[in-house]
């Protein structure tokens, strides 16, 4: 950032010369507008370069995916292997979640059966302790 040296204005009887101040403000406004225009121009050029880089990346990817060279083949195989590893990891996670759900359901079922069994045993023990009525 360029720092402007302080501008000194000639003094008149009631302050600074309004024409000099107005001219200076006009010059600063013009300079600011030029700088803003430069910034916009640079932004536009940067966007163009970004678009060109993206197009070149797509072209390189297309060439890499279709080229018969050993390097391209290695790249495609590595890509396929990464995809396969990702799919296997996903399948393992799903299988783990399913197994955990089945284990939890089976435990809950077993606990319910144990409660029923204990209740039946308690009921049978209570029936045995009751005196039998003779008819």
Nearest to 17 by CA among 30, 6, 8, 28: 8
The yes-or-no verdict on residue 82 having pLDDT over 70 is yes
| Mean predicted confidence (pLDDT) in 77-96 | 93
Q: Is 15 left (phi over 0), alpha (psi -120 to 50) or beta?
A: left
* Confidence category of residue 11, pLDDT binned at 50, 70, 90: confident
For residue 76, what pLDDT is reported?
Answer: 80
pTM, entire model: 0.38
The yes-or-no verdict on residue 64 having pLDDT over 70 is yes
Nearest to 20 by CA among 31, 30, 10, 33: 10
The yes-or-no verdict on residue 27 having pLDDT over 90 is yes
Query: Measuring CA to CA, how many Å separate 28 from each of 15, 21, 39, 47, 127?
Result: 21, 11, 16, 29, 105
pLDDT, tens digit, for every residue of 90-109?
999 999 999 999 999 999 99
Q: Which residue has the tokens 């950032």?
A: 1
> Exposed, middle or buried by CB within 10 Å (0-12, 13-18, 19+), for 97?
exposed
Counting residues of the chain whose pLDDT is more than 70, the rounded percentage is 94
Q: Interior CA angle at 58 toward 53 and 59, to 5°?
A: 95
């Amino acid at each position: 950032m360029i720092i402007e040296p302080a501008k000194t204005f000639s003094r008149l009887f009631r302050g600074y010369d309004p024409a000099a101040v107005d001219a200076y403000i006009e010059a600063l406004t013009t300079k600011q507008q030029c700088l803003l225009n430069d910034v916009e121009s640079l932004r536009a050029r940067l966007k163009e370069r970004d678009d060109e880089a993206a197009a070149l990346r797509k072209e390189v990817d297309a060439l890499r995916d279709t080229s018969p060279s050993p390097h391209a083949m290695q790249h495609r195989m590595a890509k396929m292997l990464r995809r396969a590893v990702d799919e296997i990891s996903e399948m393992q996670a799903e299988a783990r979640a399913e197994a955990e759900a089945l284990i939890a359901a089976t435990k809950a079922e077993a606990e319910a059966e144990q409660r029923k069994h204990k209740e039946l045993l308690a009921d049978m023990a209570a029936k045995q302790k009751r005196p039998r009525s003779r008819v």
